[in-house]
Amino acid sequence: AAAAAAAAAGGDAALGADSDDDDDVDDGSRPMISTAAAGGARELALSNVLYNTWRYYVQFAPTVANRVEAARAPAAQKLRDHAKLAKWEDRGYHAMKTSGEANQRSLHKFVRAFDASLNALVLPVLQAANGGVGLGDLPGERGAAERAAAAA
């Protein structure tokens, strides 16, 4: 009767103020606290694994970027040389079509050569770079190592 009177009065006290004891029953719509804590711990562990993996491989980014640039340079030079040799004179339709097809084949050949160099394995580059990189060589750790050396 009190809940009905409160509802008639327009109060919010009637919401959830029922007399039955089904409020503590888990119907699957709300996560239990232990499940949420376990999920949070699992997410934290996974994020730590991802961060540590990223932190390990980011130290090799400059080495890999140099390798990609070294692979790109010859292909870019060939492309510039080819562009110098290509002639775009005012010729007939068939001559322009033949010239365009030949240029397209040449460009495709350069792109395939560049893709082949990019598809090379990174493992040898990582192994060669791994020998000389330590914790003090990481960008964030370098400043800390220098401060520690200056303090000592």
Residue 120 lies in a domain: yes
Q: How far apart (Å, rounded) are the C-alpha atoms in residues 4 and 127?
A: 76
The mean predicted confidence, pLDDT, of the chain is 74
Give the tens place of pLDDT for each residue, 124-136. 888 888 776 555 5
- Among the ranges 19-28, 85-94, 102-111, which has the highest mean pLDDT value? 102-111
Pick the most confident of 37-46, 79-88, 138-147: 37-46
Residue 91, domain extent = 40-150
pLDDT at residue 67 above 70? Answer: yes
Tokens coding 25:
């029953």
For position 92, what pLDDT does the model report?
82
Distance CA 71, CA 112 (A): 12
Q: How many domains does the chain have?
A: 1
The DSSP line for 72-97 is: HHHHHHHHHHHHHH----S--HHHHH
Task: Tell me if 106 is assigned to some domain.
Answer: yes
Q: Is residue 111 part of a domain?
A: yes
Taking CA atoms, 17 is separated from 8, 62, 80, in Å, by 14, 64, 79
Q: What pLDDT, on a 0 to 100 scale, did the predictor assign at position 51?
A: 95
